[in-house]
């Protein structure tokens, strides 16, 4: 099993390394010359991730962690049933997550489908909350490249501050790394000044080695953030995947000095999960990454649980889920 894995990985690792070497010799890639991609120790990774999730957090730190979790949250709605009214309501929540308590900080961004960007941009015009949108043939990333790039450019023009695209897994998994790389680089160009987040959809990549390679590829290609999942498939962010990507970001920063952000999304529903991820990121990347500029939690139902735990800390009573917003 181990032998199989290694013999399968070596040529792939070689190819990615070659790719990085080729690309890095051309222009913008100077800064990333010599990036190494080492194999991942899957057992050690999972063990360390599990260990970090057992960290006990005391009450005062808990309060700070809950506020931080809100400040780094990308409040997301990506459903076919999204209406302008629904997005308006979401934007109101984004500015003041708890209508009864304005001491709760605003979230980092609201993440919506392209069509609804103008609505969100209008609602959030005079607020610190950014507008993020998914683009590039979300969630599969298999629309024609021209269409995807046009979609990105349109959204940026419509007021999106951040763009979430998906890695072309079809190209990546079949070994066409150059194609996957070129598409991200082209998307970065289409983004202009907007931040580019690249979704790896880790649940479809198959192994931690592949996740690490995809992370490196996306970062070298120009991603400002790398993101775990679309939230549209069963398997999404897990502690081990978060740790794997955080380590890739750390290695990238150590080797090139470039700080790339991390966004975790999909399946994060409870405040407890949120602060486990804060611990993983804090321990791996340092407190410099615990800011909305470098770390995000993409979620839709997480905010309710965080508000509920916050109320519990302030009030001392266990709260009732029904007392918090439905959406």
Partner 1 sequence: MSDRLVVNKTYKQFIGGAFERSESGRSYPVAGAGGELLANAVQGSRKDVRDAVAAARSAQAGWAGRTAYNRGQILYRVAEVMESRRDEFSAEVARAGDGCSYEAAAQETAAAIDRWVWYAGWADKFSTVLGGANPVAGPYFNLSVPEPVGVVGMVAPDEPPLLPLVSRLAPVIVSGNTAVVLASERCPLVAITLAETLALSDVPSGVVNILTGHRNELVPPLAGHVAVDSLDLTGCDAELAADAARQAAATITRVVSASAAERQWADESAQSPYLIDAFCETKTVWHPKGR
Residues that bind partner 1 (CB under 8 A): 316-323
CA pair distance 74, 120, nearest whole angstrom? 13
Closer of 178 and 319 to partner 1 (Cβ): 319
Closer of 43 and 100 to partner 1 (Cβ): 100
Taking alpha carbons only, the member of 157, 217, 149, 227 closest to residue 193 is: 157
Judge whether 289 and 281 are in contact, CB under 8 Å: yes
CB of 277 to partner 1, least distance (A): 21
Is residue 164 annotated as a catalytic residue, yes or no? yes
CB of 307 to partner 1, least distance (A): 13
Question: Is the bond leading into 139 cis (omega within 30 degrees of zero)?
Answer: yes
Half-sphere exposure of 235 (CA within 13 A, CB side): 13
Length of the chain counted residue by residue: 327
Catalytic hit among 188, 251, 263, 305: 263
Closer of 66 and 119 to partner 1 (Cβ): 66
Give the DSSP H/E element, type plus range, for residue 123: helix 117-123
Catalytic hit among 74, 164, 251, 305: 164
CB of 69 to partner 1, least distance (A): 20
Kindly state the tokens that stand for 147: 């269409």
Alpha helices in 257-301 (DSSP H): 271-285
Taking alpha carbons only, the member of 53, 32, 25 closest to residue 241 is: 53
- Beta strand 130-134 with 162-166 is parallel
Question: Is the bond leading into 110 cis (omega within 30 degrees of zero)?
Answer: no
CA pair distance 65, 22, nearest whole angstrom? 42
Taking alpha carbons only, the member of 326, 302, 321, 300 closest to residue 230 is: 300
Judge whether 50 and 241 are in contact, CB under 8 Å: no
Give the DSSP H/E element, type plus range, for residue 76: strand 73-76
Is residue 263 annotated as a catalytic residue, yes or no? yes
CB of 215 to partner 1, least distance (A): 36
CB of 316 to partner 1, least distance (A): 7
Closer of 58 and 320 to partner 1 (Cβ): 320
Catalytic hit among 74, 188, 209, 227: 227
CB of 275 to partner 1, least distance (A): 16
Closer of 154 and 324 to partner 1 (Cβ): 324
Distance, CA of 53 to chain centre = 19
Closer of 81 and 326 to partner 1 (Cβ): 326
Supply the residues annotated as catalytic.
Answer: 164, 227, 263
């Amino acid at each position: 099993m181990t032998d199989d894995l290694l013999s399968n990985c070596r040529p792939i690792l070689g190819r990615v390394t070659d790719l990085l070497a080729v690309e890095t010799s051309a222009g913008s890639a100077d800064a990333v010359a010599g990036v190494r991609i080492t194999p991942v120790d899957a057992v050690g990774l999972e063990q360390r991730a599990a260990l970090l999730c057992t960290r006990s957090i005391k009450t005062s730190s808990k309060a700070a962690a809950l506020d931080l979790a809100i400040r780094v949250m990308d409040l997301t709605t990506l459903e076919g049933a999204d209406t302008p009214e629904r997005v308006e309501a979401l934007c109101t929540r984004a500015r003041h997550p708890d209508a009864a308590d304005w001491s709760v900080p605003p979230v980092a961004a609201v993440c919506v489908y392209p069509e609804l960007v103008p609505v969100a941009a209008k609602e959030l015009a005079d607020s610190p909350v950014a507008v993020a949108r998914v683009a590039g043939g979300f969630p599969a990333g298999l629309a024609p490249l021209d269409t995807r790039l046009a979609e990105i450019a349109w959204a940026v023009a419509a007021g999106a501050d951040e763009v979430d695209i998906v890695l072309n897994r079809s190209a990546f998994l079949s070994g066409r790394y150059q194609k996957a790389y070129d598409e991200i680089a082209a998307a970065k160009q289409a983004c202009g000044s907007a931040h580019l987040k690249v979704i790896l959809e880790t649940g479809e990549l198959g192994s931690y080695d592949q996740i690490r390679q995809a992370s490196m590829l996306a970062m070298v290609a120009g991603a400002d953030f790398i993101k775990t999942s679309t939230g549209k498939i069963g398997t999404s962010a897990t502690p081990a995947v978060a740790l794997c990507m955080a380590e890739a970001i750390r290695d990238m920063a150590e080797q090139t000095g470039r700080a790339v952000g991390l966004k975790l999304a999909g399946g994060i529903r409870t405040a407890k999960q949120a602060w486990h991820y804060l611990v993983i990121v804090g321990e791996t990347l340092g407190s410099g990454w615990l800011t909305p500029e470098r770390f995000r939690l993409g979620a839709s139902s997480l905010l309710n649980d965080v508000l509920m735990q916050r109320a519990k800390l302030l009030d001392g009573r266990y709260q009732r889920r029904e007392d918090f917003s439905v959406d």
